[in-house]
Amino acid sequence: MDFDVACYYIENLNKPDDLLKRKVMSFSIKTISRYSAHIILYDDDRRILLQQRSDTATNFPGVWGFFGGGSKAGETPQRTIQRETREELSYRLRNPCLVAQDEVIKKKDGVILHVPRYVFIEHCLEKKYLKLQEGQGMGWFRFSEIKILKTHPQDREILAQVQKYLMRR
């Protein structure tokens, strides 16, 4: 059974269908204690800074997305995003604001992982200090430009929320 089909079965687990339940039970499903934290930086023109992942990345090679990554033991989401931003952009965040939270579902070694994801936002006032340390590229994009980029579907949902957030500011 492929991953998309497994997700369908999981979503429909509450339905009284023994076949669905038997198929789901063939997978090991768990929520992991690690989570990921990501930053969305925006400029005075409300353009969003995105990272293009390297073509050799394990997950989503070549895709445009948010800067950030996984937590280390004992880290809060706020500390994780501070560390990840320093590692990936050599940039020190001032006051990141939590703008969205969701869950990434991925399959690894026959196990379906539920990884909580925290997405922060901050106005970038000092672009000159940004230095790409990870990925093959970065760029500032208007929301209309992001629509034609190769991005992850879950990131598109977050970006829709961010666009509304910025319109209110």
Extents of the domains making up the chain: 35-100+120-167
**Arithmetic mean of pLDDT over the chain:** 83
- Arch. (CATH architecture) of 35-100+120-167: Alpha-Beta Complex (3.90)
With vertex at residue 140, the alpha carbon angle to CA 162 and CA 103, rounded to the nearest 5 degrees, is: 40
Summarised one tens digit per residue, pLDDT across range 56-68 is 988 889 999 999 9
Q: Is 59 exposed, middle or buried (0-12, 13-18, 19+ CB in 10 A)?
A: exposed
Summarised one tens digit per residue, pLDDT across range 118-165 is 999 999 999 999 999 999 999 999 999 999 999 988 899 999 999 999
pLDDT computed for residue 3 by the predictor:
38
In the numeric block, the tokens 């500390």 are attached to 79
DSSP letter string over 75-90? --HHHHHHHHHHHHHS
